[in-house]
Amino acid sequence: MHVRACRTLRRMIWGRYLLTAGLQGCRCTVSCHVQRHFGFLPDDVKSLRAVVNPDVSKIRNIGIMAHIDAGKTTTTERMLYYSGYTRALGDVDDGDTVTDFMAQERERGITIQSAAVTFDWKTHRINLIDTPGHVDFTLEVERALRVLDGAVAVFDASAGVEAQTLTVWRQAQKHHVPCVCFLNKMDKPAASLSFSLESIRQKLKANPVLLQIPVGSGKSFSGVVDLLTNQKLVWKQRSGIRSMRDEDDGRMFESKPLDQSDEPDLLQEVTEARAALIEQVADLDDEFADLLLTDFSDNFNDVSSIKLQEAVRRVTLARKGVPVLCGSSLRNKGVQPLLDAITAYLPAPNERHHDLVRWYNDDLCALAFKVLHDKQRGPLVFLRIYSGTLKPQTAVHNINRNSTERISRLMVPFADQHVEIPSMTAGNIALTVGLKQTVTGDTIVSSKASAAAAARRAQSDGGAGKKRREHADVVLSGVEVPEPVFFCTIEPPTMAKQADLETALTNLQREDPSLQVRVDADSGQTILCGMGELHIEIVHDRIRREYGIETYLGPLQVAYRESILHEVSTTETLDRTVGERRHVVTVALTVAPLDTLTPGSSCELEFTEELGGQLSAAVKEAVENGAHSSFLQGPLLGYPLQGVSTLIQRVNMEPGTSPAMVSACVSRCMHKALRLAGGQVLEPVMSLEVTVGEDRLSSVLGDLAQRRGTVQDIQSRHDDKVLVATVPLAEMMGYSTILRTVTSGNATFTLELDTYVAMNPQDQNSLLKKMSGLL
């Protein structure tokens, strides 16, 4: 009831919001002692047209990333509130946040899909993507990072760097995304600034640049001192107030220069921390070091906060250091300075280098980074515009699908509400209606001719000697889709619903490329392949809720891989007459196991040098097709092959033999070689991290021993122990329930694919028996 009331209220706010087209930044009087952020005032109304396309230097495309439950959603909600976008504070625990808008998200209190939200902060436009923390949805994070220019990493200050933060951090590094760190939950008794800084240094191998000192700790945490300006920002907690919906919403805070009347310990700490900050920044930025030595050699501390801020910005953009701020989103403290830091330190779109975009000059070039299905409007495609302008009612060209489609409507994404706009320029994130064929990762340009012109520019720049493929040169790289580790069959309630189920699965796949759907060749059953138990459970749930189909899932099975044990050379001849035509081909090849196995490590195919020079392109392609089809099904259980190298030594064919027969002969030869080479099942081994109170550690260890787990480390984190282990995925079915039972709910865990490992003969035999129904 309460949740519904809040949602209704929010819709009313949005209604008003859309009418007034408010996108209001806060107004604050920096010089006064009490700083207050106002949201909506009648005379504050701006025309949406005026703010739809802000200057590119004022745009920040930002992601919020973190470990599950670190407080991303709560922080996002506070940002929307302080920027005047919402009038009430959403609360994940009440299930009424703006960004977690899917029904399951509200119920489970977790973020599943990245929701894009646009709002203005002071003079800046912020496009913010809230990313999920659960490891089953890593692809969502990757997808978001691909189109972002900067990120805020939110940490639970009592836990420091947790497993999922590490994963997301690595992803951010891969995409060269500059970050700002926010140490949230400073109100928790166990929160520790020094511990969190050390874990950023140790675990992320990053260089934290501390910009604030907390005022008070645990329950008495009341604000921060800004080390650049020496301003003390204090959010005064009114006695007796517990709820965020109460008056004490954190909009009002006191900002005054730190002076001698402040506690000596705080003064001392700030003085030391500021000196350390200046020294650290000088070490990382030559320009700042020169300035200090020339103009402030008498006293480095006299350097202006503006010069220091500019230097911190350069350090952040060069990714030599990460600014660190602290606060407590739930207690409404420290979020406004975080918003200031986002605009001050993270890059504008034009400060990031997106390599191939220069081939398009001012022509449109955009990347589709998310697709959502809307019952009324069809697919909604989120586009990051890299160059040019996007307009509704225009045709665009999708390079990946080689198709021309029409954008019927163009909108700015305000979580689950969207505002129509007449055009959108480079640097922005837009939401389009009408693109029916576009899937996540596709590049959208204005026309086929524009793509061809870009390809010509790319080729002429590459030099005449460097012949490159047109397509690859002008397509933005999409996201890497991780390998699914679980699969299960899915069946509709009646055959009459089969077509509806297929439509639902096609739609869901367009939204979520980490979901794979295939039809088993032998049984004809539809198979769902996903990233984890939760992932499959959510897909199942969405089919029921959004498409009204009550499906049945078969038991969850582990996606094994297969490899071979020995090197084998073999020959095969195919002699077949089809109609009037005789096809004769002989193939000789060698298969051998590769030494190293990493997740996703594929199979290799090579020709001997001599043969490579002799074969025509068509025959080579036929050989490759034959070999690749054999890689899909291993000889033991039919799982895809991994870590097998194949060398094609001979292909002799009589005139008139078709390429299809060459493929068939290679397949047969591969099949024979693989059988002779001895099959080896590879099982996915996961890295597991369990955080548990010390008193329950032995129960967790005892349980893990029965799961073929290998403990790698046990670390201390305040009163908790963090157990790091590897364990075969097959042993982890339903682990969340078991863990809850053995620890009485006092533990959390993350599970992530580490590698594929060859099973020992005993385990492999029991698996083979189980699969053939003998066990």
Ligand X SMILES: Nc1nc2c(ncn2[C@@H]2O[C@H](COP(=O)(O)OP(=O)(O)OP(=O)(O)O)[C@@H](O)[C@H]2O)c(=O)[nH]1
- SS3 state of residue 81: helix
Asked whether position 188 contacts ligand X by CB under 6 A, the answer is yes
Which CA distances in Å does 282 have to 180, 273, 291, 673? 19, 14, 9, 63
CA-based torsion, 275, 280, 281, 286: positive or negative: positive
Residue nearest to ligand X (CB): 133
Shortest approach of ligand X to residue 739 CB, angstroms?
Answer: 17
From 104-112, 358-366, 453-461, 710-718, span contacting ligand X (CB under 6 A): 104-112
Shortest approach of ligand X to residue 638 CB, angstroms?
Answer: 37
Asked whether position 415 contacts ligand X by CB under 6 A, the answer is no
Q: Which residue has tokens 């001698």? A: 260
* Contacts of ligand X in 326-365 (CB under 6 A): 328-331
Q: Which is nearer to ligand X, 331 or 540 (CB)?
A: 331
Q: Which is nearer to ligand X, 66 or 311 (CB)?
A: 66
Q: Which residues of 571-599 are buried (b: 16+ CB within 10 A; e: fewer)?
A: ebebeeeeeeeebbbbbbbbbbbeeebeb
Angle of the 286-295 helix axis to the 305-317 helix axis, nearest 10:
160
Q: Which residue has tokens 């580490």? A: 754
* Contacts of ligand X in 38-67 (CB under 6 A): 66
Q: Which is nearer to ligand X, 99 or 428 (CB)?
A: 99
Please state the φ and ψ torsions of residue 2, each to the nearest 5 degrees: -65, -45
Give the span between the Cα atoms of 249 and 253, in whole angstroms: 10
**151 touches 316 (CB < 8 A):** no
Structure tokens at 278: 């200046």
Q: Which is nearer to ligand X, 90 or 427 (CB)?
A: 90
Shortest approach of ligand X to residue 338 CB, angstroms?
Answer: 12
Residue 72 assigned as binding residue: yes
In 3-state terms the chain splits into helix, strand, coil percentages (rounded to 5) of 35, 30, 35
* Contacts of ligand X in 62-81 (CB under 6 A): 66, 68-74
Residue 418 assigned as binding residue: no
The set of residues, in sequence order, having a beta carbon less than 8 Å from that of 633 and lying 6+ positions away, is: 639, 640, 641
* Contacts of ligand X in 147-186 (CB under 6 A): 184-185
Shortest approach of ligand X to residue 462 CB, angstroms?
Answer: 43
Q: Please choose, from the candidates 325, 316, 355, the residue with its C-alpha nearest in 3D space to the C-alpha of residue 212.
A: 325
Q: Which is nearer to ligand X, 66 or 435 (CB)?
A: 66
Which CA distances in Å does 471 have to 264, 390, 474? 65, 22, 6
Of the residues 39, 95, 133, 392, which one makes contact with ligand X according to CB under 6 A: 133
Residue 771 assigned as binding residue: no
Of the residues 111, 199, 237, 680, which one makes contact with ligand X according to CB under 6 A: 111
Asked whether position 187 contacts ligand X by CB under 6 A, the answer is yes
- HSE of 71, CA atoms in CB hemisphere, 13 A: 27
Residue 415 assigned as binding residue: no
Q: What is the dihedral of CA 137, 504, 410, 121, to 10 degrees?
A: -30
Give the span between the Cα atoms of 475 and 277, in whole angstroms: 42
Give the span between the Cα atoms of 641 and 560, in whole angstroms: 9
CA-based torsion, 30, 32, 37, 40: positive or negative: negative
Q: Which is nearer to ligand X, 331 or 535 (CB)?
A: 331
Shortest approach of ligand X to residue 392 CB, angstroms?
Answer: 32
Shortest approach of ligand X to residue 93 CB, angstroms?
Answer: 5
Residue 67 assigned as binding residue: yes
Residue 670 assigned as binding residue: no
From 295-303, 324-332, 380-388, 544-552, span contacting ligand X (CB under 6 A): 324-332
Residue 71 assigned as binding residue: yes
Of the residues 22, 132, 484, 684, which one makes contact with ligand X according to CB under 6 A: 132
Shortest approach of ligand X to residue 157 CB, angstroms?
Answer: 8
Of the residues 93, 520, 695, 719, which one makes contact with ligand X according to CB under 6 A: 93
Residue 592 assigned as binding residue: no
Q: Which is nearer to ligand X, 115 or 677 (CB)?
A: 115
Residue 219 assigned as binding residue: no
Shortest approach of ligand X to residue 694 CB, angstroms?
Answer: 21
- HSE of 534, CA atoms in CB hemisphere, 13 A: 19
**215 touches 222 (CB < 8 A):** yes
Q: Which is nearer to ligand X, 217 or 408 (CB)?
A: 217
Q: Which is nearer to ligand X, 160 or 492 (CB)?
A: 160
* Contacts of ligand X in 654-683 (CB under 6 A): none
Q: Which is nearer to ligand X, 75 or 343 (CB)?
A: 75
Beta strands in 79-176 (DSSP E): 115-121, 124-130, 150-156
Residue type, 60: R
Asked whether position 244 contacts ligand X by CB under 6 A, the answer is no
Residue 709 assigned as binding residue: no
Structure tokens at 28: 């604050």
State the binding site for GTP. Answer: 66-73, 130-134, 184-187
Q: Which residues bind ligand X (CB under 6 A)?
A: 66, 68-74, 92-93, 109-111, 132-133, 184-185, 187-188, 328-331
